[in-house]
Amino acid sequence: MVEIRVEAIRKKARISTHSHIRGLGLDEKGRALPVADGLVGQVEAREAAGIVVQIVKSGRMSGRGILLVGPPGTGKTAIAIAIARELGEDTPFVIMSGSEIYSSEKKKTEILMEALRRALGVRLREKRLVYEGVVKDIKIRRVRHPMAPYLAVPKEARIVLATKDEEVPLTVSEDVTEQIIELGIRKGDVIWIDAETGRVFREGKAKDFAEAKTYDIETKRLVEIPKGPVKKEKEIVRTLTLHELDTYVASQRALISFFGFGFEREIPPEVRREVDETVKKWIESGKGEIVPGVLFIDDAHMLDIEAFSFLTRAMESEFSPLIILATNRGIARIRGTDIESPHGMPLDLLDRLLIIPTKPYSPDEIKEIIKIRAEEEEIKLTNEALEELVRLASETSLRYAVQLLEPARIIAGENNREEVTVEDVRKARRLFIDLSASVKYLKEYESKFLK
């Protein structure tokens, strides 16, 4: 008889380079802890970023931006992500590279404007008259389709909504019935229906509801059964970006939304002015508030003089997110000119930026970073393998050492080992060469390469 072998299933999850970042890792007094929230070292840079977060929260960042400068692999992107985490969960965070502004379909300024408005949110608070409760009973009445007599279509529904204090039967129209079917609403679901628009929202499945069918493994969120009357005033809180509002208004004007297509061409300036005026009215009436987000532009030296001029003006506008630029260049030419400048940026823009430098990591800090990444990727390392990776990071780069983690894990698995050993790391090093080895290889076989 053939032996049947049962193996554990490895959980597959997409792990990004900075998925371990939780915040800036500061204490109550704003001092950086050596290792905290996924960040290691860069004490001065993290404390400076903490001050920036305080300035943003106090609403006094207008007219200024941030520039993160430092050699490659010193945590510039990690600090930008940590700033966004510190500002709050619903803070819009847009990340792009300086090279993304060059497109054959849109102007550079249009791409930057869209990114800026994606990084600005509006938190809307409005009180709506709603019917809210747990669905105790639901019956859908169907009728024959007028054009297809063998096809039955929903006409109306009768549902019974209940709270802990009241139970109300409701008869709803065809539009509401279609939403109920589309959302897959069943007995035991907690829903609310907007009394004015008829929009249906499902909050989840009611806890401890006897008539609802339950499963050992639930995919729906469990929520408490509402209290009070079924018909009530409910405060609805939503956060939308300015770009979402721009796209909605533009698509309405172009009647594109009627056909179900997205709005992809450039948005007219008058549409944005209309959205800005609407947002101002919401703010003045207390209905909404601006949620300042973060626009992070990596490789900012790839921007040209036109883009730099646009960003200088954007920083001083009424609606502007926190703009964070990052670069690893020293003295470089400003694209679109013959002028050389620090970091390849115009001096008038640099005057408007708070510059935060990052420094190369020490061996001890490199060791902590590799341990964090190995834990994030669920890779077990022996002490010797960890020391070998630290040595490689010091001789080559931190990024190269981190990139060897997954190949080394696969090599260990092929040898029926759960722990990565120093031999696995060295084999991965031989298979995947670093930059210095690549240069040596080019010189060795220079005559064989095409020119």
Q: Which band of pLDDT confidence, cut at 50, 70 and 90, is reported for residue 423?
A: very high
pLDDT for the residue 450: 73
Half-sphere exposure (CA, 13 Å, Cβ side) for 437? 11
Q: What is the 3-state secondary structure (H, E, C) of the chain?
A: CCCCCCCCCCCCCCCCCCCCCCCCCECCCCCECCEECCEECCHHHHHHHHHHHHHHHCCCCCCCEEEEECCCCCCHHHHHHHHHHHHCCCCCEEEEEHHHHCCCCCCHHHHHHHHHHHCEEEEEEEEEEEEEEEEEEEEEEEEECCCCCCCEEEEEEEEEEECCCCEEEEEECHHHHHHHHHHCCCCCEEEEEECCCCCEEEEEEECCCCCCCCCCCCCCCEECCCCCCCEEEEEEEEEEEHHHHHHHHHHHHHCCHHHCCCCCCCCCHHHHHHHHHHHHHHHHCCCEEEEECEEEEECHHHCEHHHHHHHHHHHCCCCCCEEEEEECCCEEECECCCCEEECCCCHHHHCCEEEEECCCCCHHHHHHHHHHHHHHCCCEECHHHHHHHHHHHHHCCHHHHHHCHHHHHHHHHHCCCCEECHHHHHHHHHHCCCHHHHHHHHHHCHHHCCC
pLDDT for the residue 265: 67
Is pLDDT of 280 > 80? yes
Structure tokens at 167: 């139970």
Q: Which band of pLDDT confidence, cut at 50, 70 and 90, is reported for residue 2?
A: very low
Contacts of 36 (CB under 8 A, 6+ apart): 23, 25, 26
Q: Which band of pLDDT confidence, cut at 50, 70 and 90, is reported for residue 10?
A: very low
Q: Which band of pLDDT confidence, cut at 50, 70 and 90, is reported for residue 110?
A: confident
Is pLDDT of 151 > 80? no
Burial of 383 (0-12, 13-18, 19+ CB in 10 A): exposed
pLDDT for the residue 11: 43
Q: For residue 228, which of 165, 299, 150 has the smallest C-alpha distance? A: 165
> Residues of the chain with pLDDT > 90: what percent?
4
353 or 210, greater pLDDT: 353
Task: Note the pLDDT tens digit of each residue in 186-229.
Answer: 888 888 888 888 888 888 888 777 665 655 555 567 778 888 88
pLDDT for the residue 214: 59
Please give the mean pLDDT across all residues of the chain: 82
Is pLDDT of 4 > 60? no
Q: Which amino acid is at 272?
A: R
Task: Note the pLDDT tens digit of each residue in 264-277.
Answer: 567 888 888 888 88
Is pLDDT of 8 > 60? no
Q: How far apart are CA 282 and CA 289, in angstroms?
A: 8
pLDDT for the residue 260: 47
Is pLDDT of 62 > 70? no
Contacts of 358 (CB under 8 A, 6+ apart): 42, 45, 68, 69, 70, 71, 74, 75, 76, 79
Q: What is the Cα gyration radius of the chain?
A: 28
What number is the average pLDDT over the span 349-368?
A: 88
Q: Which band of pLDDT confidence, cut at 50, 70 and 90, is reported for residue 33?
A: confident
Task: Note the pLDDT tens digit of each residue in 288-340.
Answer: 888 878 888 988 889 889 988 888 888 877 778 888 899 988 888 988 888 88
pLDDT for the residue 9: 43
Q: Which band of pLDDT confidence, cut at 50, 70 and 90, is reported for residue 12?
A: very low
Q: How far apart are CA 41 and CA 72, in angstroms?
A: 15
Q: Which band of pLDDT confidence, cut at 50, 70 and 90, is reported for residue 16?
A: low
